[in-house]
Each structure stands twice: as C-alpha cells, then as structure tokens.
C-alpha cells in the first residue's frame, strides 16, 4: 500500500478536551495503519483554502458532534466537499453525528465521496435525507487501554456542554460528596493557527490561576478540579472511579474503554442515547439526576456495577468498533487509489449530490455550500493575536470586577445553597411523605410525635442546654426521659454546617433539667451499651439531635435490636440545610437498609422529621 497524504479538517484536539485528545490519537494510529498520512490537521474554523498544502490526495473530515440542527459548524462541514472537488480530491466524512439538518446541509453532505456515521440514529437521519452512509462507532472506542482498573469506588460526575445540565451535575456531585471532574484539559501547543493557540493557552492559564482564589461554586470547581494531561486523567479514573456519571459523549466512551461503570446524561444531540443504544446499554441513560442522587445516597453505587452480560456486550461493541474503523480507513485508501488510477474526479458523489440538491427548496444551492471565508478582510479589520488577547482579558476582568463589586458573594452562595437544599427537602416531602403532618416548629412537632409513642423507654441523644428535653419532660410528666450527651460538643466537625464541634462544648457542665429527666453523661458509644444492659424495656421513643452522621449511626446501630414495635423516632436535623444528605438523613436510610426496617413518616417541620418504626427485620446485621 502506498502512503497517501490526507488533509484532516475539524481536528478538535486543540480545544483542550480529553475526548478530543483521544479521537486525535486514534485517528493518527488508524490512518497510519491504513497507509494514510495526516499531513495537515486543520480546525473547522480555519481557512482551509489558504492552509491546505499544495499537494495532497484526499480530505478527511472529522464530523464528531457538529452536524446537527443546521448549526454554523454543520454549514462549514457541508461546504468542504465542494472545495475538495474543485481541487480534484475526494472528501470523506467520518466519525459523525447527523441530526435535524435541513435540505441545504443534506445537499452539501451528499457531495462527500463516502459518509460514515457514528451511530444508528444518525444513519437513519442520513438515509431519510437520501444520503448513503455506513455506521462506524466513535473512534475513541477503538483505543486499547494499557492500564488496568484499580479498586476505586468514587462516584465521578463529569461536566456537560449544556449549561443547565452542567450545573445539575455539579450540584449532584456536591450533594453526595462525589468528585466533579470536567473533561477539560490543558490545550496543547499547535503548529497552525498559532495566534488562536496562544490565546487559548493564555485563557486557560489565567482561569486556572484565578480559580485558586475564586469563591466556591461551579466556575471554581470547573477550573480547579480538572486534570490537565490526558494520561494522568485516564490513570486517575482507572484507579479511583467506581462509577462515572457523564454529561459528555466522550466521558461515556472513556468509561466504556476502561470498563468503568457509567451512566450517561443526555446532551445537545442524541449522541449519548445513540451511543448507549449501540452498546445495548440504553438503561444506563439517566434523565432524572435528582432521583439518581437519592438512589446513590440510599443504595450506594453497587446497583450500577456492570453485570457479566453488560461486560460481554461492551467487549463485543468495542471489538466491532475497532474492526469497522479499520475497514473504513482501508476502504477510504482503496477508493482514493482507484480514483487516482482512473484519473477521475470524484464525480459519482457529485452526481448524487446534484440529485439531492435538486430536491432542495433553495435553487441557489452552490452559493449556500460554498465556503465563507473565516474573516472577510474587506469588511472587517484583522486584529493581531495580542489585540485579541488583551481585549478578551479586559472583558473578563471587567465582568468579574462587576460581579464582585455588586454582590456579597458569601451571602449569595449561602442563599443559593440553602435554596437548593430547601428544594430537595420539598421534593422529598412531596414524593416520600405525602401523609405526614406539617408542624409549625420543632416543639409543636415533638408534641405531635409524642402522641404516637407506645410504652417503653424514652431517650434523647443530644441534650446540650436541655431545651428540648425539658419540653419533652413537660409533655410527659409521668414518664422518665433519659438524656445522653458528652457535654463536650460534637466528636468531629459537622461538614456542610457552620456549627463546629466546639459550639456545643459545655466543658462537661450538665444543664438544669426537670426531675423526670435522667442525664447519662459521656460519649454515646461508651454510655449507651452500658445503659441498655441496665434497662431491659424496649425503646419506645428517641429524639435524635446529635447532628452528625457518625453519632446518629452509633445510636441507630446500638438501639436497632431494642426498638418496640411502633417506636417513634424524631430527628432534629433531618433535611433542609446545606449538606443534610450526609448526616442524620443518611444515617437513617443506612439503618433502614442494613436492618430492613419498615417505617412510616408521621410529621415534619423546618428541619425535623418523625417516623414510626413498625418493624426491624434483620437484627443479625
């Protein structure tokens, strides 16, 4: 096979994105294997006419996710074959999505010598537009990883190209303490378009620097948490990720390559749905991130591990991706060689295109698909790269200065986070506890909960100054209430909450309490086992006000086997504050799962929730 020189259009690796880096690597490998030399790689918005070398054999156009909804990028992709045809060279469209394009774009695409779509849905759309095509899955799926997977069990959320989805992914990651890891990377150094490259690298470096001083939030995490180099990025994922939730098409591909369980979140086209369908993994598409968040909190990530059948399907899918990519590049090489031998211009495709163009509603077809220059020198004065850079920096600094001057950022952040926590709590009430009673405040709530309490022990965990235990003692003057507290504060920091462990430190001082209250001083894990040995009755009531996960878990684990049927639990900080999902709430659902507890919610107020425990079924746990 003699080597052929190809101009690659729409090279994307310069954008600073791990998916595009992998596409680029696989393109280099597979074309070299087929005897095609990528002599020039040009971004889609470069001026091909000027930058293409004088001598080349064919044009390869990397479609990726650009060909949809008659976008500007789609128009440029549709213009390439006419330009190539004028140079007497065939153009091939590879690795492309195709969705919702009108007849003008279809007419341009039909001029390609051959079209290779990334998925079946795109193939369907091309066929409908009268364009013959073949499916070859995304080139990133042809990579053969040299790394083996570690035993990491972190949940990793990637970014998304859709702003709203990106914000939701980031929020979900924060809510469950997962890692938010965008696919963005350090832009590489380029040989063409050096000015654009310098400006891109400058912007990247500035944002990385600013991110270290930026207030917490999506912007900061986006720029701070990325891993700049591709090899470091995949090595980190292979080692640490137990599940990837990805809003990026290539995030899903990379997960499939490394055998990491993945869930895809829809993007701006059907690319993620179509990819998962191609691998027979449609059920791994997630549209409701809030629900996923709840499930991850309550059930962990095991339900998302791959089954044996899924693993087999992924292996088969990737094998087929590699085989079809190889045969695609061989067929491109062969058909270019045939055209060269016959001294033909790629007429067959043009004839076909003309037929499609005839169906177009626009008679001036050639005017539409002719490439428009990137910058018209006649109408727009060109700016040096330095001017562009300074302009961009000044605009950015101006925007940030404005935002900082007019906002109390700490307050804005606090309000926004609280608003989101309230939304989650409201959703929880509507979906999980529609029959529970709303109470005006925590005291009213305790009163309501107390009405359901059967015979047995009444305990409070977290007494502090004795406010709530005094209220309970007055509600039930004929019963003894036991109050547990270290009176030394929390054993550890309360993440997500401004109350540190020192806020509740009474230096061991026991508060004054009514006569029907007995105080049990000390750490729960030391005092509670002894107490339960000394008191044989079942536990009828627990007011759990110890705030943090570990303390709540200790209480629930130690008392699970002693709860009376119908025992009432009241949690004082169950939901509706920043980080609630990590504390009493989580400890309760862990308890439900571990002991297979049957329960009914009966009431709630601002942050408090109460429930009746009907049965605890798995005491051996």
Interface with ligand SAM by CB under 6 A: which residues?
A: 462-465, 467-468, 485-486, 489-491, 504, 523-524, 545-547, 551, 554
- Whole-angstrom distance, CA of residue 186 vs CA of residue 484: 54
**Looking at beta carbons only, is 102 or 489 nearer to ligand SAM?**
489
- Closest distance between ligand SAM and the C-beta of residue 491, in Å? 5
Strand partners, 42: 9
- Closest distance between ligand SAM and the C-beta of residue 554, in Å? 6
**Looking at beta carbons only, is 253 or 463 nearer to ligand SAM?**
463
Residue 107 has phi, psi (to 5 degrees) of -65, -40
Write out the two tokens for 284.
Answer: 């791994």
**Looking at beta carbons only, is 221 or 485 nearer to ligand SAM?**
485
Strand partners, 505: 488
- Closest distance between ligand SAM and the C-beta of residue 489, in Å? 5
**Looking at beta carbons only, is 99 or 552 nearer to ligand SAM?**
552
**Looking at beta carbons only, is 238 or 463 nearer to ligand SAM?**
463
**Looking at beta carbons only, is 27 or 546 nearer to ligand SAM?**
546
**Looking at beta carbons only, is 523 or 589 nearer to ligand SAM?**
523
Q: Is 9 within 8 Å of 177 (Cβ atoms)?
A: no
- Closest distance between ligand SAM and the C-beta of residue 588, in Å? 15
- Closest distance between ligand SAM and the C-beta of residue 139, in Å? 54
**Looking at beta carbons only, is 375 or 467 nearer to ligand SAM?**
467
Q: What are the C-alpha distances in Å from 249 to residues 64, 69, 124, 159, 425?
A: 10, 18, 19, 10, 31
**Looking at beta carbons only, is 378 or 533 nearer to ligand SAM?**
533
**Percent of the chain as helix, strand, coil, to the nearest 5:** 50, 15, 35
- CA atoms in the 13 A half-sphere facing the CB of 320: 13
- Closest distance between ligand SAM and the C-beta of residue 574, in Å? 13
Please give the distance of CA 142 from its chain centroid, rounded to a whole number: 23
Strand partners, 99: 68
- Whole-angstrom distance, CA of residue 245 vs CA of residue 258: 14
- Whole-angstrom distance, CA of residue 85 vs CA of residue 88: 5
- Closest distance between ligand SAM and the C-beta of residue 483, in Å? 8
- Closest distance between ligand SAM and the C-beta of residue 467, in Å? 4
Greatest pairwise CA separation for the chain in angstroms = 105
One-letter-per-residue 3-state SS of 73-117: HHHHHHHHHHHHHHCCCCEEEEEECCECCCHHHHHHHCCCCEEEE
- Closest distance between ligand SAM and the C-beta of residue 457, in Å? 17
Please give the distance of CA 538 from its chain centroid, rounded to a whole number: 46
- Closest distance between ligand SAM and the C-beta of residue 542, in Å? 12
**Looking at beta carbons only, is 357 or 544 nearer to ligand SAM?**
544
- Closest distance between ligand SAM and the C-beta of residue 597, in Å? 21
- Catalogue the long-range contacts made by 590-598 (C-beta closer than 8 Å, 24 or more residues apart): 590/553, 590/556, 591/553, 591/556, 591/557, 591/560, 592/298, 593/298, 593/299, 594/557, 594/560, 594/618, 594/621, 595/560, 595/619, 595/621, 596/621, 597/560
Residues 6 or more apart from 22 whose CB is under 8 A from it? 139, 140, 143, 230, 250, 253, 254
Residue whose Cβ sits closest to ligand SAM: 462
Write out the two tokens for 308.
Answer: 């044996």
Write out the two tokens for 418.
Answer: 């609280």
**Looking at beta carbons only, is 13 or 571 nearer to ligand SAM?**
571
């Amino acid at each position: 096979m003699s080597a052929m020189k190809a101009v690659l259009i729409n090279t994307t690796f310069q954008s600073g994105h791990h998916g595009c880096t992998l596409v680029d690597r696989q393109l280099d490998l597979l074309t070299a294997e087929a005897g095609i030399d990528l002599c020039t790689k040009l971004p889609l918005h470069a001026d091909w006419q000027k930058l293409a070398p004088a001598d080349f054999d064919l044009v390869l156009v990397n479609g990726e996710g650009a060909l949809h909804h008659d976008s500007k990028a789609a128009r440029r992709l549709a213009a390439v074959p006419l330009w190539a045809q004028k140079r007497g060279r065939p153009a091939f469209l590879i690795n492309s999505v195709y969705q919702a394009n009108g007849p003008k774009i279809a007419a341009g695409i039909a001029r390609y010598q051959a079209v290779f779509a990334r998925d079946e849905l795109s193939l369907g759309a091309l066929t409908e537009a009268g364009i013959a095509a073949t499916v070859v899955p995304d080139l990133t799926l042809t990579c053969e990883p040299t790394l083996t997977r570690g035993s990491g069990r972190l949940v990793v959320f990637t970014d998304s190209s859709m702003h709203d989805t990106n914000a939701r992914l980031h929020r979900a990651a924060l809510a469950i303490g997962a890692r938010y890891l965008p696919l963005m990377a350090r832009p590489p150094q380029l040989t063409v378009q050096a000015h654009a490259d310098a400006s891109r690298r400058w912007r990247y470096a500035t944002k990385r620097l600013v991110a270290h001083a930026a207030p917490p939030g999506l912007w900061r995490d986006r720029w701070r948490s990325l891993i700049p180099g591709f090899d470091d990025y995949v090595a980190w994922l292979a080692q640490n990720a137990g599940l990837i939730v990805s809003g990026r098409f290539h995030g899903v591909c990379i997960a499939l390559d490394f055998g990491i369980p993945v869930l895809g979140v829809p993007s701006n086209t059907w690319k993620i749905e179509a990819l998962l369908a191609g691998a027979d993994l449609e059920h791994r598409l997630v549209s409701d991130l809030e629900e996923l968040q709840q499930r991850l909190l309550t059930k962990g990530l095991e339900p998302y591990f791959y089954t044996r059948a899924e693993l087999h399907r992924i292996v088969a899918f990737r094998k087929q991706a590699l085989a079809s990519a190889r045969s695609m590049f061989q067929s491109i090489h062969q058909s270019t060689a045939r055209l060269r031998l016959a001294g033909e211009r790629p007429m067959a495709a043009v004839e076909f295109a003309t037929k499609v163009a005839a169906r177009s509603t626009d008679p001036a077809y050639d005017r539409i698909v002719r490439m428009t220059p990137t910058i018209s020198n006649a109408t727009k004065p060109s700016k040096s790269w330095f001017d562009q850079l300074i302009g961009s920096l000044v605009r950015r600094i101006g925007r940030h200065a404005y935002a900082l001057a007019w906002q109390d950022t700490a307050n804005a952040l606090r309000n926004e986070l609280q608003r989101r926590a309230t939304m989650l709590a409201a959703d929880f009430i509507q979906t999980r506890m529609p029959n529970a009673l709303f109470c005006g405040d925590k005291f009213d709530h305790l009163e309501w909960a107390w009405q359901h309490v059967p015979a047995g022990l009444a305990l409070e965990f977290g007494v502090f100054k004795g406010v709530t235990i005094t209220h309970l003692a007055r509600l039930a003057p004929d019963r003894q209430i036991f109050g547990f507290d270290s009176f030394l504060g929390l054993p550890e920091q309360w993440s997500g909450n401004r109350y540190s462990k020192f806020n509740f430190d009474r230096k061991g001082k026991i508060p004054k309490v009514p006569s029907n209250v007995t105080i049990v001083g000390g750490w729960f894990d030391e005092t509670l086992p002894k107490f339960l040995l000394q008191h044989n009755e079942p536990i009828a009531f627990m007011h759990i006000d110890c705030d943090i996960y570990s303390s709540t878990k200790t209480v629930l684990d130690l008392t699970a086997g002693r709860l009376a049927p119908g025992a009432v639990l009241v949690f004082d900080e169950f939901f509706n504050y920043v980080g609630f999902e990590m504390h009493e709430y989580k400890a309760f659902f862990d308890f439900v799962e571990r002991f297979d507890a049957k329960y009914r919610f009966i009431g709630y107020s601002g942050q408090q929730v109460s429930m009746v425990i009907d049965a605890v079924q798995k005491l051996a746990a």
